[in-house]
Amino acid sequence: MRALAQRARVAAREPVRAWTHRPRSRSTTHAKRKGFAEFLRVGGVDADDARSWYNGRRPLRPGARTPMRRVPSEIAPVPPYARDGHLPAYDDGTWQLATTAADREGMRAAGRFAAEVLDMAELMIVPGVTTTDDIDVAVHEMIVARGAYPSPLNYGGFPKSVCTSLNECICHGIPDDTVIESGDIINIDVTVYLNGYHGDTSRTIMCGEVTDEVRRLVETTERALDAAIAVCGPNVPVRRIGATIHKIADEGKYGVVEKFVGHGVGKVFHSGPTVKHHRNNDPGELKVGTTFTIEPMLTIGTTRDKMWKDGWTSVTADGKWTAQCEHTLLVTETGVEILTASPLRAQRAADAAAKTTA
């Protein structure tokens, strides 16, 4: 979620707008009443986009948002930006290192909890019923019930506790009353701040029946992340991560979004190292104790983006769909540890293996 830092600089200069029209399946009457071209222009979506609908879906547009949710005053500790929305400075030269046993256990606990929250969010989706705001409510409540803080909330003024990015949304979608439909894909990006440590993870979830093209996109993105993790370890050049991801994307004929990157994470939400997901010649090697994210974003079409007026939501310029997945990692003396491994996905893999051998 390093990209949040980039977008927060925009959002901090511009107040969050309250979008008044309704999205997608709840919008038909409104569209007829106001006129289709006008309807598509709301929120900065151009009417010309109607000519490039992808996968039978009209372009996303902002929905109605609920107010920022409250975090109980007894939750402690909270990150410095929690109360005032101040955007912390990003220092690429300062890497976060979990060198003590306490730091490593703190990061493991934050990572495990982030994974549990993301699993819960995936399981709650009912196509045609669940809204992205429903996900925000559930994520927020689960995090604060644990005595933790939802890291995205008020980060540079970000108004919600989780990012929900549907279909052509590359990242940083703001939860609202948009209904998740069968055939959609949604990236849910969860970060928790637990006992002074951030754990950051996301995945793209296929909702109901998706097309083969969309399924291949999601599966290739997951495979690229897995391959990138596999090359990590002490003294490994950081640029090898991007080279690994880009090779797999090229083989699948997908684009790699270069605008958004992975990042160091730990006691601070975003820091060095900057982890580019494309081929690059940047210097730097992973060090024992480094805690960081890898979070590739692959696209079916262009990798160029359009930014919505909210200053956060980034969508593909051509409206074609995109997928992202992310883990928080710890470089150990012998390799790398995935701190945000999903219990849900592990159980599904075990069940599938059991069926194969039965």
Q: Is the pLDDT of residue 270 over 80?
A: yes
Which H or E run contains 33? helix 28-34
Q: Model confidence at 3, in pLDDT bands (50, 70, 90)? A: low
Instruction: Record the pTM.
Output: 0.86
176 has pLDDT over 60: yes
pLDDT of residue 55: 80
The stretch 210-218 carries a mean pLDDT of 98
215: Cα within 13 Å, side-chain hemisphere: 7
Cα torsion angle, 28, 32, 36, 40, sign: negative
Beta-strand (E) ranges in the chain?
Answer: 149-150, 163-166, 169-171, 185-194, 197-206, 255-256, 262-264, 271-275, 291-294, 297-299, 305-307, 314-316, 322-324, 327-331, 336-338
What are the tens digits of pLDDT across the range 300-352? 999 999 999 999 999 999 999 999 999 999 999 999 999 999 999 999 999 89
> How do residues 38-49 score in pLDDT, each as one tens digit?
333 334 444 344
Q: What are phi and psi of 262, to 5 degrees?
A: -80, 175
Q: Is 21 annotated as a binding residue?
A: no
The pLDDT tens digits of the residues spanning 10-35 come to 444 333 332 222 234 333 333 333 33
Output the CA–CA distances (angstroms, integers) from residue 287 to 102, 322, 329, in the order listed. Answer: 18, 31, 12
Nearest to 268 by CA among 358, 184, 198: 198
Across the range 287-305, mean pLDDT stands at: 98
Distance CA 239, CA 257 (A): 15
Using DSSP, how many helices (H) and how many strands (E) does the chain show? 8, 15
Domains, the chain, ordered by start: 2-62+93-352 (3.90.230.10)
- pLDDT tens-digit readout, 54-110: 888 889 999 999 999 999 999 999 999 999 998 878 878 889 899 899 999 999 999
Whether residue 189 is annotated as binding a ligand: the answer is yes
Is 270 one of the annotated binding-site residues? yes
* Whole-number pLDDT of residue 38: 33
Burial 226-240 (b: 16+ CB within 10 A, else e): eebbeebbbebebbe
Cα 52 to Cα 62: distance, rounded to the nearest angstrom = 18
Interval 203-211 mean pLDDT:
97
Tokens, residue 209:
């029946």
Helix (H, G, I), strand (E, B) or coil at 2: helix
217-255 residue pLDDT tens: 999 999 999 999 999 999 999 999 999 999 999 999 999
The pLDDT value recorded for residue 87 is 83
263 annotated as a binding-site residue? yes
CB 97, CB 287: distance < 8 Å: yes
For residue 134, say whether it is annotated as part of any ligand binding site: no
Average pLDDT over residues 112-123: 99
Question: Burial, 113: exposed, middle or buried (Cβ in 10 Å; 0-12, 13-18, 19+)?
Answer: buried
Average pLDDT over residues 154-159: 97
What is the pLDDT, as a whole number, of residue 91? 78
The answer on whether 116 is annotated among ligand-binding residues is: no
**Environment class of 45 (CB within 10 Å of its CB; exposed 0-12, middle 13-18, buried 19+):** buried
Give the per-residue pLDDT at 8. Answer: 45
Q: What is the pLDDT of residue 206?
A: 98
Query: What are the φ and ψ backbone dihedral angles of 237, each rounded to 5 degrees?
Result: -60, 135
pLDDT of residue 358: 73
Q: Which two tokens stand for residue 240?
A: 């090898």
Token pair recorded at residue 357: 């051998």
pLDDT of residue 1: 58
**Would you state the pLDDT for residue 7?**
47
